């Protein structure tokens, strides 16, 4: 049996944190539960275009993440997505394992894919949708799989439009017209995956880790979280900062490919998820990348003598391969020269403890 399956414990039935899931001693405190610190900006997309673009640019430079409101994704759709996600993870373990991710696959049910880089297991389970969810949905609900597929399809369609719009705003904030980036325009201007994450209530949350620190290997990620906090972003000088859920708001993370595209101006955000004692948490991450085959490299307008090209061109699938091998060293492994002064990215130099 692939190890990914055998290491999947039924976290809902465990009354005491097993050693396999204990990340630190209960005496360690990295201040990560400090929730009154400053947090990521909240941006209202209904403001005028220039203001939104400038605010997004500032958020990308300083945080690599922000929340958005008035994004045109209906509450109804967000609620449906949440209901169907919760329904999936509430299935009995033997049922979920029917849709288990195979050891060499991307899609399906299983532990976090970054688990192989850590000695300890994370207090979470995930379900990845890449391409059509039909086959897995049939395994999960043999007589009733259509509703799940319909919600996923609608969610992905809406998210694709929003991701395209946000990509345009991010490029605009870098002084680049979307039309200047050939692949960024048109109906199939990106490809994507959907990652559902479930974090059961945990008997010893201070010693457990929901999802270890990582950056996303995307252009950008749009995250919906239920009304339970857990997401934290890392900011130099502030440490781990909690992103409190705001009803109806979505979180945007800058991914490694925008980091490359912007020649290091918009660093991808290091983030993680912690867990809590009483509440189940669910998050849905829309992972947005370029169309397959497109090489992502620093935009030529952002490269000059003072700002040499920092990264070599990579396709999304090449980069995913690099990430799967090098994890937190992936960006530096495609880097051509040192990070620019003032934009030195700690995770790019492996200065930050991961996990
Ligand atoms: O659950 C969360 O808030 C974070 C999820 C995440 O970072 C991911 O799926 O890549
Ligand atoms: Fe992530």
Q: Is 165 a catalytic residue?
A: no
By residue count, the chain amounts to 355
Q: What is the 3-state secondary structure (H, E, C) of 39-92?
A: CCCEEECCCCHHHHHHHHHHHHHHCCEEEEECCCCCHHHHHHHHHHHHHHHCCC
Report pLDDT for 354: 28
Kindly report, residue by residue over 232-282, the tens digit of the pLDDT: 999 998 899 999 999 999 999 999 999 999 999 999 999 999 999 999 999
Kindly report, residue by residue over 216-225, the tens digit of the pLDDT: 999 999 999 9
- Predicted confidence band of residue 341 (pLDDT cuts 50, 70, 90): low
Cβ of 273 below 6 Å from ligand 1:
yes
Asked if residue 355 lies in contact with residue 209, where contact means CB atoms within 8 angstroms, the answer is: yes
With a cut of 50, say whether residue 353 has pLDDT above it: no
Two tokens at 322? 């690099």
Residue owning the nearest CA to atom 8 of ligand 1: 285
Two tokens at 194? 């959907």
Kindly report, residue by residue over 46-90, the tens digit of the pLDDT: 999 999 999 999 999 999 999 999 999 999 999 999 999 999 999
For each of the domains in the chain, give its residue range(s) and CATH number, in order of start. 33-337 (2.60.120.330)
User: What is the C-alpha separation between 200 and 223, in angstroms, rounded?
Assistant: 18
Q: Are strands 65-69 and 42-44 parallel, antiparallel or unpaired?
A: parallel
Pocket test for ligand 1, best of 271, 279, 288, 354 (most atoms within 8 A of CB): 271
The residue-averaged pLDDT of 17-24 equals 92
Report pLDDT for 182: 87
């Amino acid at each position: 049996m692939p190890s990914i399956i055998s290491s999947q414990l039924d976290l809902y039935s465990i009354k005491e944190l097993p050693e396999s899931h204990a990340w630190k001693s209960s005496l360690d405190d990295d201040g990560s539960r400090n929730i009154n610190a400053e947090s990521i900006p909240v941006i209202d997309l209904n403001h005028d275009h220039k203001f939104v673009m400038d605010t997004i640019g500032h958020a990308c430079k300083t945080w690599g993440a922000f929340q958005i409101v008035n994004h045109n994704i209906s509450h109804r759709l967000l609620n449906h997505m949440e209901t169907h996600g919760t329904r999936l993870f509430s299935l009995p373990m033997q049922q979920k394992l029917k849709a288990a991710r195979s050891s060499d696959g991307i899609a399906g049910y299983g532990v976090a894919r970054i688990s192989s880089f850590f000695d300890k297991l994370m207090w979470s389970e995930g379900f990845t949708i890449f391409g059509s969810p039909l086959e897995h949905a049939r395994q999960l609900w043999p007589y009733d799989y259509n509703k799940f597929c319909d919600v996923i399809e609608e969610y992905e369609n809406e998210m694709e439009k929003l991701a395209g719009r946000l990509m345009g705003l991010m490029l605009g904030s870098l002084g680049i017209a979307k039309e200047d980036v050939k692949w960024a325009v048109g109906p199939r201007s990106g490809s994507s995956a959907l990652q559902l994450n479930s974090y059961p209530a945990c008997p010893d949350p201070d010693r457990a880790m929901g999802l270890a620190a990582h950056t996303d290997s995307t252009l950008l990620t749009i995250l919906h979280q239920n009304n339970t906090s857990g997401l934290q972003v890392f900011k130099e000088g502030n440490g781990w900062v909690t992103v409190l859920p705001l009803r109806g708001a979505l979180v945007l993370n800058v991914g490694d490919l925008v980091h490359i595209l912007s020649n290091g101006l918009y660093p991808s955000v290091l983030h993680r998820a912690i867990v809590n004692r009483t509440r189940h948490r669910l998050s849905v991450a829309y992972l947005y990348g370029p169309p397959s085959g497109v090489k992502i490299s620093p935009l030529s307008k952002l490269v000059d003598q003072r700002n040499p090209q920092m990264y070599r061109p990579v396709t999304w699938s090449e980069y995913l391969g690099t990430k799967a091998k090098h994890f937190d060293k992936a960006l530096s492994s495609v880097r051509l020269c040192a990070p620019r002064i003032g934009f030195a990215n700690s995770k790019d130099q492996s200065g930050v403890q991961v996990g």
